[in-house]
């Protein structure tokens, strides 16, 4: 959410919305951090500490965004530093946490996981920020349509990247295990239900919703776009949860 918000112009968005996003991100990080602290680490202490440090950095930057929101609309450099820095730190925290849960991660797997985490974060963050912004138009009536149009453009790119990623992941997963290609395919087929959620719900349906939202924004129908974005975000969350599950079951990012 922070990284997606960094692509917008702060002077086009109501400062109360910026504060809301900062508080939501901070609350999410507090919840995740509390869960981490209550769970006995099963990973090397160094990796565990690195993940927590990145998470705390993202949390403090989100809190800074919330506190400085009334004064930040005319300071785009400070706004982007807080949002982009917090977004990068949050993505890094999630990537490290996922990598440490997979046995024997090699360089190629590591690169694929990082690519998957970045593209997943871009999709989840952009679609969540977009539907929250859609609600903000009900009260902040002076906001221009430009920020919502920008986020819809970002959603379209994010969906395209996710399609590209899963295609490359399937091809690379089969190619890297070509000698035992049938084993990879059989393991993938055994997860047919999760794979269906991943592709049909998390990609195909979200692609349709992204097109519908773009059309609503073109017609300046913010309320219709908000409703579609809300349901689209639920489908995106289901698809990305299926992605995380498949990654752990196959030891390969999906």
Whether 86 shows a pLDDT value over 90: the answer reads: yes
Average pLDDT of span 79-101: 87
Q: Which of 101, 121, 145 is the last residue of a domain?
A: 101
What is the distance between the alpha carbons of residues 213 and 207, in angstroms, rounded to a whole number? 10
Q: What is the mean pLDDT of the chain?
A: 86
b/e sequence 197-217, b meaning 16+ C-beta within 10 Å: bbbebbbebbbebbebbbebb
Tell whether 125 and 86 lie within a shared domain. Answer: no
Tell whether 49 and 113 lie within a shared domain. Answer: no
Which range (125-134, 151-160, 243-252) has the least confidence? 243-252
Whether 101 shows a pLDDT value over 90: the answer reads: no
Q: What is the pLDDT of residue 17?
A: 93
Tell whether 81 and 182 lie within a shared domain. Answer: no
Whether 41 shows a pLDDT value over 60: the answer reads: no
Whether 127 shows a pLDDT value over 80: the answer reads: yes
Structural domain boundaries enclosing 204: 105-254
Question: Is the separation of the CB atoms in 233 and 159 below 8 Å?
Answer: no
Tell whether 64 and 133 lie within a shared domain. Answer: no
Tell whether 111 and 178 lie within a shared domain. Answer: yes
Whether 141 shows a pLDDT value over 90: the answer reads: no
Average pLDDT of span 85-101: 85
Q: How many domains does the chain have?
A: 2
* Helix, strand, coil shares, percent, the chain, to 5: 85, 0, 15
């Amino acid at each position: 959410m922070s990284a997606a918000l960094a692509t917008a112009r702060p002077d086009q968005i109501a400062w109360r919305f910026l504060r809301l996003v900062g508080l939501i991100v901070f609350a999410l990080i507090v919840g995740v951090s509390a869960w981490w602290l209550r769970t006995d680490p099963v990973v090397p202490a160094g990796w565990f500490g690195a993940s927590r440090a990145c998470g705390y950095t993202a949390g403090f930057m989100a809190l800074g965004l919330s506190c400085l929101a009334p004064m930040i609309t005319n300071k785009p450099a400070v706004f982007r530093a807080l949002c982009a820095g917090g977004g990068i730190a949050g993505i890094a925290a999630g990537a490290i946490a996922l990598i440490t849960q997979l046995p024997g991660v090699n360089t190629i797997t590591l690169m694929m996981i990082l690519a998957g985490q970045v593209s997943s974060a871009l999709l989840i963050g952009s679609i969540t920020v977009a539907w929250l912004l859609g609600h903000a138009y009900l009260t902040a009536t002076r906001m221009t349509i430009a920020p919502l149009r920008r986020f819809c453009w970002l959603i379209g790119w994010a969906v395209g990247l996710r399609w590209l990623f899963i295609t490359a992941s399937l091809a690379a997963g089969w190619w890297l295990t070509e000698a035992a290609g049938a084993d990879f395919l059989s393991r993938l087929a055994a997860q047919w239900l999760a794979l269906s959620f991943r592709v049909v719900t998390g990609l195909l349906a979200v692609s349709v919703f992204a097109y519908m939202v773009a059309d609503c924004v073109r017609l300046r129908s913010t309320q219709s776009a908000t409703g579609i974005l809300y349901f689209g975000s639920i489908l995106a969350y289901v698809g990305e949860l299926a992605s995380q599950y498949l990654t752990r079951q196959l030891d390969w990012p999906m």
